[in-house]
C-alpha cells in the first residue's frame, strides 16, 4: 500500500497492515527535538508499549540513512534518541533527506504524509504545531496545519502546544476545513493544561463515534485530516494560570536571543523544561501516553467498522 517509494516496516507492522488490524503511527521529532535523553527514549518505548497493551501495533516513523521507516525496533529508537544533528523534517524536506541519504526525524506534517503512504490512518503525538504568537509579523505558521488540511490521517494530540496562539490556530484549522474534536469535554485543551478558555468546535465522547464521523467524511470524498484534542489527565496537568507565567518567560527569552524558524518550538520546549523544574516534561510524557491509548482505541474502532 505504498506509493512509488519503498517504506521499511517491521514485521509486526507489515503483518498488522496486511490483516487490517489496528496500527498507530508515531512521530520522531518529539524524540529528537522535543525531549532530552534518556527520557525521550523511555517515553518512546513506553508509548509503544501502551499501544500494544491496547491491542494495536505502533509504527514510529523516521528517516534513517535515506530510508523511510514505519516501525522501528528498540535498538533503532535508542540510536535515534541519542543521535546528534538529526534533521527536523516537515513536508518541505522529507524528500530531501530521502534523496540525500540523510537521517531525520519527522514532524506531525511529515509523519502524516508517511503514515498515509504506508496505509496507516491514525497517529498519536503530544501537541501539533500551529500559529505562533506574533505570527502577524513573523509569518511563523506550522506546516502541520496545511498537512491536516490535505492528508487523511486522524491526529490525536492534547491540542496545539500552549506556547502558540491557540485562537489563531483554531481559525487556521477552520479555514483549512479540519475538524477539531475535543474528546470528552466542551473546552479546547491546551497541551499541559486541560483548559484554554476556548470552546472546541466539535466534541465527541467515544472512539466509535469518532470512527463513524471518519467514515462519513470518507464518503464525502476528498477529505483531509482530523484533529482529536484529548485533554491531559487531571492528575498530570499543570493548571493554565501556572503554566502561562512560564510561557511568557520562555517567549521573552526566545525573542531576546533572536531564535527563529525550525528552532523556535524545540527552544521553547527546552526553556519550559528548566522553568518548571522538569514538571513540563513529566506532563508532556503523560499526555503523549494518554493520546497513544486513545489513538489505539480509535484505530481499533476504525478496523472494526471495516469488517
Residue 257 annotated as catalytic: no
Cis status, amide bond into 38, omega within 30 of 0: yes
Has 229 been labeled as part of a binding site?
A: no
Name the 3-class secondary structure at 194: coil
Active site (annotated) includes residue 248: no
Contact partner at residue 40 from Mn ion, ligand PSU, none, CB < 5 to 8 Å by partner kind: none
- Size of the residue set binding ligand PSU (CB under 6 A): 18
Residues 137-156 that bind Mn ion (CB under 5 A): 140
Return the residue of 13, 16, 24, 29 that touches ligand PSU, per CB under 6 A. 29
Q: Which of residues 85-124 bind ligand PSU (CB under 6 A)?
A: 107-108
CA torsion angle 284 8 74 102 (round to 10): -70
Q: Which residue is nearest to ligand PSU (CB)?
A: 126
Instruction: Give the shortest CB-265-to-ligand PSU separation in angstroms.
Output: 4
Question: Which of ligand PSU, Mn ion, none has residue 225 at its interface (CB below 5 to 8 Å by kind)?
Answer: none
Return the ∠ at Cα 89 (arms to 210 and 223), rounded to 5°.
30
**Residue 203, interface with ligand PSU (CB under 6 A)?**
no
CB of 135 to Mn ion, least distance (A): 9
When CB distances to Mn ion are compared, the closest residue is: 140
Distance between CA atoms of residues 199 and 304, nearest Å: 31
Q: Does 284 bind ligand PSU (CB under 6 A)?
A: yes
Among the listed residues 142, 193, 280, 290, the single contact to ligand PSU using CB under 6 A: 142
Q: Where are the beta strands (DSSP E) in the chain?
A: 7-9, 23-26, 57-64, 67-70, 87-89, 104-106, 122-124, 154-157, 180-183, 202-204, 226-229
Window of 7-15, 138-146, 225-233, 297-305 that interacts with ligand PSU by CB under 6 A: 138-146
Of 16, 30, 223, 183, the residue nearest 110 (C-alpha): 30
The residue behind cell 522535543 is 34
DSSP secondary structure letters along 38-80: THHHHHHHHHHHHHHHTT-EEEEEEEETTEEEES--HHHHHHH
143 is in an annotated binding site: yes
| 231 belongs to the binding site for ligand PSU (CB under 6 A) | no
Q: How far apart are CA 64 and CA 41, in angstroms?
A: 16
- Joined grid coordinates for residue 260: 527563529
Choice from 22, 129, 159, 224 touching ligand PSU (CB under 6 A):
129
Active site residues: 27, 161
The residue ranges that bind ligand PSU (CB under 6 A) are 27, 29-30, 33-34, 107-108, 125-127, 129, 142-144, 262, 265, 269, 284
Binding residues for Mn(2+): 140
The residue ranges that bind Mn ion (CB under 5 A) are 140
Amino acid at each position: 500500500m505504498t506509493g512509488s517509494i519503498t517504506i521499511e516496516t517491521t514485521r509486526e507492522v507489515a503483518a498488522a497492515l496486511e490483516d487490517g488490524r489496528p496500527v498507530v503511527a508515531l512521530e520522531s521529532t518529539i524524540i529528537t527535538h522535543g525531549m532530552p535523553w534518556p527520557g525521550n527514549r523511555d517515553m518512546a518505548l513506553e508509548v509503544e508499549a501502551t499501544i500494544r497493551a491496547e491491542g494495536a501495533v505502533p509504527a514510529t516513523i523516521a528517516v534513517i540513512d535515506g530510508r523511510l521507516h514505519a516501525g522501528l525496533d528498540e535498538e533503532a529508537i535508542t540510536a535515534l534518541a541519542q543521535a546528534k544533528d538529526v534533521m527536523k523534517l516537515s513536508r518541505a524536506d522529507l524528500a530531501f533527506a530521502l534523496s540525500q541519504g540523510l537521517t531525520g526525524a519527522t514532524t506531525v506534517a511529515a509523519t502524516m504524509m508517511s503514515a498515509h503512504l504506508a496505509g496507516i490512518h491514525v497517529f498519536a503525538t503530544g501537541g501539533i504545531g500551529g500559529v505562533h504568537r506574533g505570527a502577524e509579523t513573523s509569518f511563523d505558521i506550522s506546516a502541520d496545519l496545511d498537512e491536516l488540511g490535505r492528508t487523511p490521517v486522524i491526529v490525536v494530540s492534547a491540542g496545539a502546544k500552549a506556547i502558540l496562539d491557540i485562537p489563531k490556530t483554531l481559525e487556521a484549522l477552520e479555514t483549512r476545513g479540519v475538524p477539531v474534536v475535543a474528546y470528552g469535554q466542551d473546552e479546547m485543551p491546551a497541551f499541559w493544561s486541560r483548559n484554554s478558555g476556548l470552546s472546541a468546535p466539535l466534541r465527541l465522547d467515544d472512539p466509535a463515534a469518532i470512527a463513524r464521523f471518519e467514515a462519513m467524511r470518507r464518503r464525502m470524498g476528498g477529505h483531509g485530516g482530523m484533529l482529536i484534542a484529548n485533554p491531559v489527565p487531571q492528575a498530570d496537568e499543570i493548571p493554565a494560570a501556572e503554566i502561562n507565567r512560564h510561557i511568557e518567560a520562555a517567549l521573552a527569552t526566545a525573542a531576546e536571543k533572536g531564535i527563529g524558524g525550525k528552532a523556535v518550538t524545540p527552544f521553547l520546549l527546552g526553556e519550559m523544561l528548566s522553568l518548571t523544574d522538569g514538571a513540563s516534561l513529566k506532563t508532556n510524557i503523560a499526555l503523549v501516553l494518554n493520546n497513544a491509548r486513545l489513538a489505539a482505541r480509535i484505530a481499533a474502532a476504525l478496523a472494526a467498522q471495516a469488517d
